[in-house]
Amino acid sequence: MKVWKITNAGSVDFKDLGPSQVKENCVKVKMLSASLSMSDKMAFEGNLAGVTYPIVPGRCGAGMVSEVDSSVKNFKRGDRVYLSSRVACNECYFCRMGRRSECAHLQTYGKDIDGVLSDFAIVPVETMYNLPDRVSDKEAVFIEHIAIAINTINTLNVEKGDHFAIVGASALGLILAQVALYYQAVPIVIDDREERLNMARELGIYYTINSAKEDVAKRVFSLTGGKMATRLAYTLDSNALPYAKMLSIVSTYGKAGLVGADVELDKIQIDAKTLVEKTITLYGINQTTDNITSAINMLASKDVKVSDFITDIPFTAVPEYLDKLKNGEEFIQLVVSGQ
């Protein structure tokens, strides 16, 4: 098995680990694509809390089943599959009750355990989902984004006609805006990069705000007829608006969510005065597992478009692009192929 390993902050090495054996209730997958994501960048920089080196990056990906353990009945050699990012312990109370998405000891690929940036991966069968032909290997790395977007819509109870402010035109923010349109809400995408806002407009997002050039609160007031946004999602991979100001654009009795993970959460400062005075309900949202099947269906039916978000890189270029990320170059989503 050939892998890239981040051996320490700023250092990545290629390793040939030799033949790998399939374990009980596991599947061996020939990797066809894998994400190189924000969490991998943070691990390479030494800023990812909880990571232990060395670690194989790659939060999620797609591949083809090459070998199955005899205990596995739902997958066979040749199946195209999506590998989700989190592995449940199967031992805690929630897992034993069949609620693996609430596992008390969830582990994330590329952070808590080795990821899938390899030529082959040995993965537990419960992390795998069949991929329809209409979803390409590269598009599959966005399934997690779509799943968390669906969870955000459900958690915030976004309804038809709601003005829904989305801070950050990252991959997650742009996908969340598309999912909001699917549910007939009115997304308002906020970012400080005009090229990202242009992408939002090309995806059919009518309302966009450049936070580097406009007074965001005044613009939201104008767009909503003074009511402000009834729902807000702040994508945690964004810095388009100070956290302390985000509640100023939310309506009284509104709902807001901090969406995502793998940021320095202890540095987030929330305006508690506005939170209490407006009686705003605030959520932390990062769970995806329960919505992965729905996310695959939305991608297959083209209700969410992601092809323009992809920067495709070869397996051999991983160190080069980790350095580019560390040096501040921006990509909506790096997808590693050619393993």
At 169-218, the pLDDT tens digits run: 999 999 999 999 999 999 999 999 999 999 999 999 999 999 999 999 99
What is the mean predicted confidence (pLDDT) over 80-102?
Answer: 86
How far is residue 302's CA from residue 87's CA, in Å, rounded to a whole number? 28
Is the pLDDT at 5 greater than 90? The verdict is yes
Higher pLDDT, 262 or 224: 224
What percentage of the chain reaches a pLDDT higher than 70? 98
Query: What separation, in Å, do the N-terminal and C-terminal C-alpha atoms of the chain show?
Result: 11
Give residue 115's pLDDT. Answer: 93
Determine the pLDDT at residue 322: 95
Give the pLDDT score at 288: 76
Half-sphere exposure for 267 (CA within 13 Å, toward CB): 6
Question: Which residues touch 192 (CB under 8 Å, ≥6 apart)?
Answer: 210, 211, 212, 239, 240
Question: Could you report the per-residue pLDDT of 248-276, keeping only the tens digit for each?
Answer: 999 999 999 999 876 667 778 889 999 99
Average pLDDT over residues 91-116: 86
Residue with tokens 């596991």: 26
pLDDT at 4 over 80: yes
User: What is the tens place of the pLDDT at every residue in 14-65?
Assistant: 988 887 888 888 899 999 999 998 889 999 999 888 888 999 999 999 999 9
Per-residue pLDDT band at 131 (split at 50, 70, 90): very high
Amino acid identity of 77?
R
| Displacement of CA 291 from its chain's centroid (Å) | 13
Mean pLDDT of the chain: 92
User: CA–CA separation, 122 vs 29, rounded Å?
Assistant: 6
pLDDT tier for residue 100 given thresholds of 50, 70 and 90: confident
Q: How confident is the model at residue 118 (pLDDT cuts 50, 70, 90)?
A: very high
Distance CA 337, CA 260 (A): 25
> Would you report the helix, strand and coil content of the chain in percent, each value rounded to 5?
30, 30, 40
**Contact (Cβ atoms closer than 8 angstroms) between residue 257 and residue 152:** yes
Q: pLDDT-derived band of residue 320, with 50, 70 and 90 as boundaries?
A: very high
Residue with more model confidence, 16 or 296: 296
Max mean pLDDT among 3-17, 21-35, 148-162 falls in 148-162
User: Does the structure show a pLDDT above 90 at 101?
Assistant: no
Q: Are strands 26-36 and 61-68 parallel, antiparallel or unpaired?
A: antiparallel
Say yes or no to pLDDT of 339 above 80: no
pTM: 0.94
Instruction: pLDDT band for 148, please (50, 70, 90 cuts).
Output: very high
From residue 212, alpha-carbon distances to 190, 199, 235 in Å are 10, 17, 17
For residue 72, what pLDDT is reported? 87
- Report the sign of the C-alpha dihedral through residues 286, 289, 294, 298, in that order: positive
Cα–Cα distance measured from residue 36 to residue 326, given in angstroms and rounded to the nearest whole number: 12
Using alpha carbons, list the distances in angstroms from residue 148 to 208, 216, 287, 291: 22, 25, 6, 7
Tell me if residue 105 falls in helix, strand or coil. Answer: coil
- As given in the structure block, the two tokens for residue 237 are 């991979």
The 10s digit of each residue's pLDDT in 73-90 is 889 999 999 999 888 888
- For the cut 90, the answer to whether the pLDDT of residue 306 exceeds it is yes
> Cα–Cα distance between 282 and 250 in angstroms, integer?
11
